[in-house]
Amino acid sequence: MKRIFIAVKVVAGNTLLKMVSSLKGKLSDDIIRWTNIDNIHITLAFPGNTQDEKIDGIDELLKVKCSEFNKFEVLMRGSGVFKSFSDPRIIWAGFEKSEELTKLASSIQEGLRDIGVELEERPFNPHLTLARIKHLSDKEAFERLISQYQNTDIQVVPVNEVILYESILKPTGPVYKPLKIYPI
């Protein structure tokens, strides 16, 4: 049994690195667990705990699905929070709407369901999880800070491969181990 997910790896560019560094500096008094910048990715599907036998089927499915797409790019743009500014849990960086990215995620998710892999029923919302919030001392100042980046073009992300990852949970944070890489 492995805890797996399917994603597009994102290599942080200068603007994203500066944004995260600025946020970390200005929020240093708060209790926030920052994502390791080497682990950032766009999750296309999250099967979670999966039997090893099923992973072979997922591997075959991803070979086929990824071969049906051409390379493309998406624009990382803006930031925000999940849940709400009154009860923020996650700081994220977002993406401009991308028909190609949505089609890729939908194709993979539908294929997974067709082979009996259970997935959560929620709309695809491409984002990077930058941090998980445990406690904020000043939510109003936090909202002003995050809102500064709301309409910022951060970087262009090439989508030229999809990765099947194993997520290994450790006390220091998750370790994402690539199991297979599928060219687009």
From the candidates 15, 34, 41, 174, give the one annotated as an active-site residue. Answer: 41
Catalytic residue list contains 135: no
- Burial of 76: CB neighbours in 10 Å, binned 0-12, 13-18, 19+: buried
From the candidates 78, 127, 130, 149, give the one annotated as an active-site residue. Answer: 127
Choose among 59, 49, 99, 72: nearest CA to 182.
Answer: 59
Beta-strand runs (E) in 54-142: 72-83, 88-95, 127-135
Catalytic residue list contains 41: yes
Say which residues have a Cβ less than 8 Å from residue 108's Cβ, sequence separation at least 6. 6, 44, 45, 61, 62, 65, 162
Q: Which residues are catalytic?
A: 41, 127
